[in-house]
Amino acid sequence: MKIAIAQINPTIGDLPGNAQKILEIAQKAAAEGARLLLTPELSLCGYPPRDLLLNPSFLQAMDIGLQQLARNLPPALAVLVGTVEENLTAHNTGGKSLFNSIALLERGKVKQVFHKRLLPTYDVFDEHRYFEAGSEANYFTLDNVHVGVTICEDLWNDEEFWGKRSYTTNPIADLSILGVDFIVNLSASPYSVGKQKFREAMLKSSAVRFQQLIIYTNQVGGNDDLIFDGRSFALNRQGEIVCRVCGFEQDLVVVEFDEEQRDFRSGSIAPEYESEDEEIWHALVLGLRDYVRKCGFSKVVLGLSGGIDSSLVAAIATAALGKENVLGVLMPSPYSSEHSISDALALAENLGIKTHILQIGELMQGYDKTLAELFAGTEFGLAEENIQSRIRGNLLMAISNKFGHLLLSTGNKSEMAVGYCTLYGDMNGGLAVIADVPKTRVYSICRWLNRNDEVIPQNVLTKAPSAELKPGQVDKIRYHLTTF
């Protein structure tokens, strides 16, 4: 039996678009001879749908879309689709009105529906707000092969691996007792650095402990503040990886179950990333690309200061959207150094992006004149410095509004943590691309980018950071964050 892993990138709330995506990949799977197709958790509506689930018309449209998808699928292919089902006993039991479910679609019908048993309510998850936990072990039989079904968190409760139990139930143990031939897991597991190694170690422990074959299918794509890395994989009973899908991109990979050996045959194994910097780079590129695409934009604009943060954001934007869709704006003031302009222009030339220079000296003088009477008798200080940042923020927002470009802000996590940023100035923007990247990591990613050819100008990497909001300014706090 051939099992196809559909590592797809759904758009939250786009029921017709997601159904079409599933249909198209199902047709490809059928053409490759697959008998069973796996799609991620809540693949029909996208994860996390959050309060869309409180809209009755959305739930009704999802049910209609599921029925229609079942009728359109290739007849020889069984498909597991992530969806939501009503809890018909909620009124009597006082439980939640919905289940987080997986539907088995085959030969034009919804054959079975399985409910997620373990509902996470920590970190970015809030599933108890919407869902009732399933109470039964989930499995089905297809061509005399018994398939256990789990949904994301259902695999994250092996007390031997964790040293404790977070839930009273272990769905893998229950399915092992039932004697299924293999277990599939349909997930929407967000990305964090190093998480893939943890996933593989955790499921290896479960595969060996319960002597179970496991296929892990994960969503891919960026959804606002969350990035899903995909990297689906399959394990044999020895806990060995027999298949791994590429990270941060859609893909379809087929795993073959040998019915005589009752084991998976070795398939394609995507290599691991060579470094965390490479992994994070791919995550950032995907996150920006999907935010722009899913929000209906096509082009972006950002301020180029000649500093390392804006340089990295510009490089990410170019990789995500193409050089023709990125505009860099230089806004020098009387305090700007010569290298801030030359470094920004060198970066733009390396990336091949368009630039525009807007001098802000006269605008600064206008503010000084307007505020002269009110500020009389005071010394130049933070207020005047921040006016420069706010002038730049206003100009960038004007460009964004005039041309429909998404404005990217360029502050890093270290700056955000210590409040080294200006409200209504450098914080302006629709997406803070590197707001979860510490300054030290900004430097290491840029060095990784330059491993073969210069992308980030060398002077950007070696000069002391400065906001250049007053003569001779050096950002000592920022500099310490980059060097220790």
The residue from 106, 132, 152, 446 that is catalytic is 152
Contact by Cβ (8 Å): 414, 438: yes
State the amino acid at position 340 in one-letter form: S
Question: What is the Cα 73 distance to its own chain's centre?
Answer: 28
CB 446 within 8 A of CB 311: yes
Q: Residue 274 has which token pair?
A: 């060579």
Sequence-separated (6 or more) residues with CB below 8 Å from residue 117: 133, 134, 135, 138, 150, 151, 154, 169, 171
Q: Distance between CA atoms of 341 and 305, rounded to whole angstroms?
A: 7
46 phi and psi angles, rounded to 5 deg = 85, 150
Q: What is the rounded distance in angstroms from the CA atom of residue 317 to the CA atom of residue 165?
A: 42
Q: CA-to-CA distance for 99 and 85, rounded, in angstroms?
A: 5
| Catalytic residue (choose from 21, 41, 132, 446) | 41
- Three-state SS at 253: strand
41 in active site? yes
Q: What are phi and psi of 35, to 5 degrees?
A: -100, -30
**Strand pairing category for 220-223 and 406-409:** unpaired
Instruction: Clarify whether 200 is annotated catalytic.
Output: no
Provide the pairing of β-strand 233-235 with 241-244.
antiparallel
Instruction: Please say whether the beta carbons of 157 and 170 come within 8 A.
Output: yes
**List of E strands, 95-223:** 98-106, 109-115, 139-142, 145-151, 182-187, 214-218, 220-223
Number of Cβ within a 10 Å radius of residue 376:
7
In which element (H, E) is residue 62 found?
helix 56-72
- Strands (DSSP E) found in 152-246: 182-187, 214-218, 220-223, 226-229, 233-235, 241-244
The one catalytic residue among 21, 96, 116, 413? 116
- Our answer to whether residue 152 is catalytic in this structure is yes
* Residue-by-residue DSSP string for 400-441: HHHHTPEEEE---HHHHHHT-S-TTTTT-SSEETTTTS-HHH
For 177-219, list the strands marked E by DSSP.
182-187, 214-218
Beta strands 182-187 and 145-151, pairing class? parallel
What is the distance between the alpha carbons of residues 216 and 242, in angstroms, rounded to a whole number?
12
Cα gap 120→477, rounded to integer Å: 38
How many whole angstroms from its chain centre is CA 329? 27
- Give the residue numbers annotated as catalytic, written as ranges: 41, 116, 152
